[in-house]
Every structure is written in structure tokens, then in C-alpha cells.
Chain A
Amino acid sequence: MIKINTSNPEETFKVGEELGKKLAPGDIVCLQGDLGAGKTSLAKGICAGLGVKADITSPTYTIVNEYRGKYKVNHMDLYRIRQEDELFDLGFEEYLYGDGVTIIEWPDKSGALMPDQYLDINLRGEGTDREIRIIPQANKFIGLMAELKKDVDLSN
């Protein structure tokens, strides 16, 4: 696990950007944290790191926003999902197991459809301070974790 402390949304964005640069097609990143925890800032950073030039807007209402950067990027928000059934209708598994990078906010709403290989990111904090915990839930992320430790300043 890596623990990173940031003191404003810009720093959170930068952590996302470093992470985004290291992701590969098929990777799934789950973002967990309360409303206002910084999921949007981190997701924007990840997309920037993946070379997405478009504005990253909230996917809460659309549930999925698709972008094209270095790879296809699916930015999902399951906040409004009430039943797993709705995920089938949405083509959830097609997004997950396609050749793009998928970022999922509120992944716990996916129930039994929750992927079992993913990069787990937890955000929490007070005021503008945030603690970001990155936990790899698959062996394929071991290399990425080592690189991230090297490239992100963990001292503060």
C-alpha cells in the first residue's frame, strides 16, 4: 500500500496524473471516498496522465463518460445505481473487460459485478487536506506501485 498526503485539489490532481501515465489498457481503477473527498480531482488527473485533452466532467448523471487519450478511457460513476440489473443494461462488463482503462467512482454499488483485479484508491480528509491510499488488488499492479513510489513525493 502507498499512502500519499495532499493539501489541495491541485496536488491531488498531480498524484492522479502520475498514476495515469503508468496505466495500461484493461486496467481498472476504483475510487472510494465520500462526496467531496476528491474523487473528481483525482479522476481528472488520471485522465490527464492518460493523455485525454477533453474537459473531464462529472459522470454522475450519464453514469459513463468515454474519452480518447493514449487509450480509450471510461470514466464511470455508480452513485445513481440502485440495482445490479441496471449495470447489465448499461453494458458494465463490456466496459470493464474491453481494451480501455476504466475509472470507477462508487464501485461498491456494483455488488457481485465488482471486478476482482483492480487498483483500489481510498480518499479521505478534512478541510483541504487529503490522505490517498493506493492498494493493488492484482499482481499486475506491483510494477506500477514501485514506479509510483519512486515518482511521487511521499515525504509529507
Chain B
Amino acid sequence: MKEEFLILAIESSCDETSAAVIKDGKEVLSNVVASQIDLHRKFGGVVPEIASRKHVELINPVIEDALEEAGVDYEDLSLVAVTYGPGLVGGLLVGIAAAKAIAYAYNLPLVGINHIEGHIYSNFISHPEIEPPLVCLTVSGGHTDLLYFEELGAYQILGRTKDDAAGEAFDKVARVMEIGYPGGPAIDKLAKEGDSQAIDLPRPLIYDDNYDFSFSGLKTAVLNYINQKKQKGEEIPKADLAASFQQAVVDVLTAKVVKAAQDKKVKRVLLSGGVSANSHLRRELEEKLDELEIKLYYPQPRLCTDNAAMIGTAGYFKYQLTGEIAPYSLNANPNLKLG
């Protein structure tokens, strides 16, 4: 029997190609994300920005790097975990093919992981002491999901976005305001100089008796405001608009999370996904939850965005808790849902 449980994890569902080695579920020995290594030196050429073909070129060097950095050989591995959805089919297929090949060649169990579950489990790397029951909000460019965990490995979906994800609203509003990409950090920064009460914007679904979200209408309200200002030839108060928009998003997210935490009577709330890096969201949520003696957890910044380490941790729990192994026929599922 092996003394250490070493997982090789692979994530290629969207823009990043990533591989990681995780020890005993929560310790990150390496977490290589393709945009962080010297691609030009390795390939002697320019790498296209989001083409999924880039995953084909990157997957092997990224895996080799992850193993080397961790000081681990293929023979030392105990399990291979891979994202099989949701995401872009081209990228997913590359990661799955690599994972299957390694699992087959070294006779290792293969575990298929839902990308969003990965984001949730990123919190267990940053805070290994977390125990359920808990409520988790995953907010990113592609997702806004509110979940309840009665125990690890078993969760219930409380609500999700009916249209745009919160991060998508950030990106699109930032783009129209011409303040840069990615939109989340740009708005977060500019909002610090603005008045969050200056412009009256809608808080979609905030008083509805459910846990669902909708951000498309809020985005449109911001665009209408900008267009009206332009037509009148008035200057757009960008800092105030950024602050007011951010406040509207944060108000809705906070209201729903607090409602869920109270309804489910939990003492712990997890935040995950790219938007969990938003400083205003963290502050407001922490304040509101503090009053209720509920503790808020969020992952360290490099685990907020797409990475393979979180897939490894999710793989560890899935394997240990359910023993569920993916067959070699595991296929990409671009529209994979939680549940």
C-alpha cells in the first residue's frame, strides 16, 4: 500500500490548461496553469488566446511540469482526476484523453469531476478544517450557483442564475464603460473612488421567495443609463456607476446567501469562483454574516480562478466518499449540470 495518496488532476474546460498534484486531498504539491509558464520559450511561437487547439499543445508539458514541480513520478500516483464538464467540448476532450491515457498506462482509477464542484472544493485547500453543514455560493464568469451541503459529497441546489452569470455582468458592464478587462477587478478598483448610492439601479429578484438570480436586466439598466447620458451629451460618472452597479450585484448576492444560511441554519458559508475575489462582496457578506455569528470562508486568490488543484481535491472527496470511478468511456459533457 502507498503511504501517500497522490492525485494527478487535469483541468481544461475553458481558457486555461492546468495540471496539479494533490497529496492526501488537501495539500497542493504543484498547481501549474498554462498562462503562468513560459510558453514562448517552450514552443517558439505565439499561442492563440482561447483556441481550444492550444490545449492539445499544452497538455503534455503542463502535466510534466506539474509532476516535476511536485517531485512525483507517474508510478507514485494513486488516482487521476479530470474535469469532464461543463465547458468547451474541444478543451474538455483534450483533458479527458490525457487523463484516460495516464490512468490506463499506469493502471490507476479515473475520476470525472464537474468543474463547478471543483470551485466549491477549492475552499477545502485553503481551509482544511471546514466541516458541513454549509451553504456555498459559486460566482464566476459562467456560473452563479447557491448550494447547500448537508454532508460532504451530498449537496442540494438551492438556486442559480436565470440568465447571465454575475461575473459576465461585471465583464460586459466594464466593457461598455471602457475600463478594461477582466471586468471584475476593473470595477472593484474603480468603485472604491465612487458613491455606491449615486445611481439607482434594480436589484433583480432580491425580494423573491427563492434563491435564484438574474443579472441580465441589471446589465441592461446600466447600458440604458450610459446611453441616456451619451444622448444628452453628459459625461458618464464612471466611478459612481461602477460603485452603484457593484453595490446592486453585491446586495442581491448577499441577500440570497444570508437567506439561505438562515433558512438552512448553517454556521459556515463558502464563497468560490472568480467573483469571490471581489473585495466589496467579501466585506459586505462578512459583515452581514458576522452579525448572525456565521463564518465566511473564501479561497486564496490563485485558487479562485480556473485551476487543476481544486479538481484534485474534489476528486479526492468523490473517490473517498463514494468510491465512484469513471469508466474509460467517460465523455465530455459541455452542458453538465450540478446535481
Expressed in whole angstroms, the minimum distance between the Cβ of A39 and any Cβ of chain B is 10
Q: Is the CB of A83 within 8 A of B227?
A: no
Query: Interface residues of B toward A: which range?
Result: 20 to 34
Q: Among the listed B50, B53, B175, B334, which residue makes an inter-chain contact with A35, where contact means beta carbons less than 8 Å apart?
A: B175
Q: Is A116 an interface residue (CB 8 A)?
A: no
A51 to B160: give the CA distance in the assembly, Å: 21
| Contacts A36-B219, A63-B88, A90-B88 given; does A58 touch B52 at CB 8 Å | no
User: Hey, which chain A residues are within 8 Å of B172, CB to CB?
Assistant: 35, 60
User: Hey, which chain A residues are within 8 Å of B162, CB to CB?
Assistant: 55, 57
Q: Is B224 an interface residue (CB 8 A)?
A: yes
Q: Is the CB of A82 within 8 A of B165?
A: no
A35 to B224: give the CA distance in the assembly, Å: 10
User: Hey, which chain A residues are within 8 Å of B14, CB to CB?
Assistant: 61
| Contacts A57-B162, A58-B163 given; does A36 touch B224 at CB 8 Å | yes
Q: Is B35 an interface residue (CB 8 A)?
A: no
Q: Closest chain B residue to A60 by CB distance?
A: B168
Q: Is the CB of A82 within 8 A of B163?
A: no
Number of interface residues of A (CB under 8 A): 29
Q: Closest chain A residue to B224 by CB distance?
A: A127
Q: Among the listed B52, B89, B161, B220, which residue makes an inter-chain contact with A57, where contact means beta carbons less than 8 Å apart?
A: B161
Q: Closest chain B residue to A66 by CB distance?
A: B335
User: Hey, which chain B residues are within 8 Å of A91, CB to CB?
Assistant: 89-90
User: Hey, which chain B residues are within 8 Å of A64, CB to CB?
Assistant: 88-89, 334
Q: Is A93 an interface residue (CB 8 A)?
A: no
Q: Is B223 an interface residue (CB 8 A)?
A: yes
Q: Is B65 an interface residue (CB 8 A)?
A: no
Q: Is B141 an interface residue (CB 8 A)?
A: yes
User: Hey, which chain B residues are within 8 Å of A85, CB to CB?
Assistant: 48, 51, 53
Q: Closest chain B residue to A87 by CB distance?
A: B51
Interface string of B73-97 (1 = CB under 8 A from A): 0000000000000111110000000
Q: Closest chain A residue to B169 by CB distance?
A: A58
| Contacts A35-B175, A60-B168, A63-B88 given; does A86 touch B51 at CB 8 Å | yes
Interface string of A27-42 (1 = CB under 8 A from B): 0000000111010110
Q: Is the CB of B48 within 8 A of A62?
A: no
Interface string of A57-79 (1 = CB under 8 A from B): 11011111110000000000000
A140 to B239: give the CA distance in the assembly, Å: 50
Q: Is A136 an interface residue (CB 8 A)?
A: no
Interface string of B130-147 (1 = CB under 8 A from A): 000000000001100000
User: Hey, which chain A residues are within 8 Å of B222, CB to CB?
Assistant: 36
Q: Is A80 an interface residue (CB 8 A)?
A: yes
Q: Is A26 an interface residue (CB 8 A)?
A: no
Q: Closest chain B residue to A64 by CB distance?
A: B334
Q: Is B217 an interface residue (CB 8 A)?
A: yes
| Contacts A57-B162, A58-B164, A61-B14 given; does A83 touch B219 at CB 8 Å | no
User: Hey, which chain A residues are within 8 Å of B164, CB to CB?
Assistant: 40, 57-58, 60
Q: Is the CB of A61 within 8 A of B163?
A: no
Interface string of B212-253 (1 = CB under 8 A from A): 000011011011100100000000000000000000000000
Expressed in whole angstroms, the minimum distance between the Cβ of B103 and any Cβ of chain A is 25
A134 to B52: give the CA distance in the assembly, Å: 34
Q: Is A9 an interface residue (CB 8 A)?
A: yes
A57 to B90: give the CA distance in the assembly, Å: 21
| Contacts A35-B219, A83-B48, A85-B51 given; does A61 touch B335 at CB 8 Å | no
Q: Is the CB of A61 within 8 A of B53?
A: no
User: Hey, which chain B residues are within 8 Å of A127, CB to CB?
Assistant: 224
Q: Closest chain A residue to B162 by CB distance?
A: A55
6 closest A-B pairs by CB: A61-B142, A36-B223, A36-B220, A89-B52, A58-B164, A89-B90
**B interface residues, Cβ below 8 angstroms from A:** 14, 48-53, 86-90, 141-142, 160-165, 168, 172, 175-176, 216-217, 219-220, 222-224, 227, 334-335
The 24 listed contacts between A and B (C-beta, < 8 Å) are A35-B223, A36-B223, A40-B163, A41-B216, A44-B163, A58-B163, A58-B164, A58-B168, A58-B216, A60-B164, A61-B168, A62-B87, A62-B142, A64-B89, A65-B335, A80-B50, A82-B49, A82-B50, A86-B48, A89-B51, A89-B53, A89-B90, A90-B89, A91-B89
